Chains A and B, each alone.
Chain A
């Protein structure tokens, strides 16, 4: 009986994982959608590509030095923070990287996307991320 339950659970997991691949096959692994404030403020959601940034910076730069918590949705960042040189604004200041007036380069997501971490290749975890 218990074995049956375990088997059913495993089959369910397989189905969820397979359908996850179908739904999310396109996004690059660890792409982050940030849309807690964006669309309410009338701009597209932000797509943050981890892959692009980790080629140039170690994890510690953003997650220790700049203070980004390692959980999607837990950093409540406003454009005021960024133009004041905090968070993204530590680099996106026209010096290290493009400045914060290049709205469309970060606010580049499709309308309606939900905040969360995405990815293609076998990354389907629970929705907590």
Chain B
């Protein structure tokens, strides 16, 4: 157990490895010195506690990075500022899915309709599916923040969720009245 603790602490102590020492890159490759080490670019971005140790959402929103949205100028950003509450979360807090943070990076077609139907509630999935790399787990746990961060998704208590739903219903009713 002591050894495990030491290994864990060692892993957490240094944020980014040099490419030549990362266990993946071949240190005998003469071209290796031309590649950028992660520390150089990641250490100047907003920090996070997991993943690349970079808060990618904040980095984009702050303008710390300015990633291109297209190569061939065919795809334009289609930002959707719409939260979806996923109520069936067992005993865990309810999930708030923010379309905004996702559409700032992704195209609608990355998730719809093959991973998730557009109609809220039409796609049934469980945490086990996600842990096996399906649905949200296609990215979370692989490239976006890992599945150890329960509270980032399971973030809304039931009372708050009920209040938001009532507000949404009222807003929808008002909008329908106007039409």
User: A residues touching B (Cβ–Cβ < 8 Å)?
Assistant: 18-19, 21-22, 24-31, 33, 44, 47, 49-52, 54-61, 63-66, 70-71, 90-91, 96, 102, 104-105, 108-111, 113, 117-123, 125-126, 128-129
Contact = CB atoms under 8 A, between A and B. Distances in A.
Contact of B16 (A22, A28, A122, A128): A28
A52 B41 contact: yes
Interface of B: 4, 7-8, 10-12, 16-17, 19, 21-26, 29-32, 34-36, 38, 41-42, 50-54, 56, 65, 67-72, 74-75, 77, 104-107, 109-110, 131-133, 137-139, 141-143, 146-148
Contacts of B16: 28
21 contacts: A18-B4, A24-B23, A28-B22, A29-B50, A33-B24, A51-B54, A52-B38, A56-B65, A58-B67, A60-B75, A61-B75, A64-B75, A64-B107, A65-B72, A104-B31, A105-B34, A105-B35, A108-B29, A121-B11, A128-B132, A129-B141
Contacts of B69: 58, 60-61
Nearest to B103: A60
Contacts of A49: 38
Given A55-B67, A65-B70, A120-B17, 10 more contacts: A21-B8, A22-B11, A29-B51, A52-B38, A65-B72, A104-B29, A117-B142, A125-B146, A125-B147, A126-B131
A30 B24 CA distance: 12
A25 B10 contact: yes
A122 B146 contact: yes
Contacts of B74: 65
A82 B55 CA distance: 32
